[in-house]
Amino acid sequence: MPGHIPVLREAVGRLFADVEAGTLIDGTLGLGGHAEAILDARKDLALLGIDRDRDALTTARKRLDRFGDRVRLRHGNYADVAEHAAAASGPIVGIFLDIGVSSLQLDVAERGFSFLRDGPLDMRMDSSSGAPASAWLATAAQTEIAEVLRTYGEERYADRIARSIVEARLRGPIETTLDLRDIIHRAVPRAYFDEPIDPATRTFQAIRIRINGELDALQRGLETGFDVLAPGGILAVISFHSLEDRIVKIFLREKAAACICPPDLPDCVCDKQVEAEILTRKPIRADEDEIAENSRSRSARLRAARKLDTGSAGSRASNSA
């Protein structure tokens, strides 16, 4: 599809190259780039694609139509993957998540995700539910806004930006992406503009995560996804944000751990089984060639693990996700 370059496509394909025949669940289908590559390489895999964005599903459906009944698509949140898994045919041998905002969402001004384009301040991945970012900013307390910017955006000028947002909304509604961008630009020190990223980047990211409940969805999606995965199946996640990557890293470490007792206990009393084998000792990153071709791949981090069969004696797995 013109303009759409799936991040770390070859690395994702290698991870699923040797799974058993069955169904792969792509919980963040997007425009279907990763799904298409995997289905081309593995004729014995079916796909269950999930996405919160109806526009993305429409585009992906056209892209994947040539695979016929090997593909089933569902509108919804990957956090509810256990419910969607009922539509899968055969064992679920793979779960793939590409976390964050898609190129379709960033490139369409009307979606309100990007401060590079003038559009309504929406930011909802599912525009049919929930309230847009403009509605939240119109009513949220200054302390709440600052906390969101600090926690989800790691924004060091969170208090200044939050105060400026509250002052600005007293003069009139904050309705567009450029309205918010200009407020942020006026709030931060001039030296902030000398840094590699635009001063509005972290604030837009933080508000998007808050509006879509992304970190909660990730935690739930990892837990329920791992539960429905067949033994030997692979869970693979691409994240673009340090908070997301930390959640994935901790989750995989816990699944691969042989003991989760407090370190000060002399003996293990938890009787925990090793549930997963970590396949990525360090996250897989894009190389210089991919970054040159697709700048959005620069911050991508891919982690993966294989689910073990805990019904039999398992070996100790690496704890270094």
Cα separation, 249 vs 214, in Å, equals 16
pLDDT greater than 50 at residue 52: yes
Q: Any idea how long the chain is?
A: 321
CB 65 within 8 A of CB 47: no
The domain at 9-104+214-307 falls in which architecture?
3-Layer(aba) Sandwich (3.40)
Predicted confidence (pLDDT) per residue in 79-100, tens digit: 999 999 988 878 999 999 999 7
pLDDT greater than 90 at residue 220: yes
CATH 1.10.150.170 domain locations along the chain: 108-212
pLDDT greater than 60 at residue 116: yes
Average pLDDT of span 34-40:
96
Q: Which of 53-62, 90-99, 213-222, 253-262 has the lowest mean pLDDT?
A: 253-262
So what's the pLDDT on residue 294? 86
**Nearest residue to 303 (alpha-carbon basis) of 227, 257, 260, 247:** 247
pLDDT greater than 90 at residue 66: yes
So what's the pLDDT on residue 317? 40
Average pLDDT of span 255-270:
80
Average pLDDT of span 95-107:
80
CATH 3.40.50.150 domain locations along the chain: 9-104+214-307
So what's the pLDDT on residue 190? 93
Cα separation, 312 vs 221, in Å, equals 26
Average pLDDT of span 45-56:
93
So what's the pLDDT on residue 103? 67
Average pLDDT of span 108-113:
79
Q: Which of 105-114, 120-129, 163-172 has the lowest mean pLDDT?
A: 105-114
pLDDT greater than 50 at residue 319: no
pLDDT band at 229 (very low <50, low <70, confident <90, very high): very high
Average pLDDT of span 261-269:
76
Q: Which of 26-30, 185-189, 262-266 has the lowest mean pLDDT?
A: 262-266
Q: Are strands 22-26 and 92-98 parallel, antiparallel or unpaired?
A: parallel
Residue 269 CA to chain centroid, in angstroms?
35
pLDDT band at 2 (very low <50, low <70, confident <90, very high): very low
**Nearest residue to 30 (alpha-carbon basis) of 10, 11, 51:** 51
Q: Which of 36-50, 106-120, 198-212, 275-289 has the lowest mean pLDDT?
A: 106-120
Top-confidence residue, 263 or 167: 167
pLDDT greater than 90 at residue 74: yes
So what's the pLDDT on residue 321? 57
Topology of the domain comprising 108-212: DNA polymerase; domain 1 (1.10.150)
Q: Which of 41-50, 237-246, 289-298 has the lowest mean pLDDT?
A: 289-298
For the chain, the maximum distance between any two Cα atoms, rounded to a whole number of angstroms, is 66
So what's the pLDDT on residue 104? 66
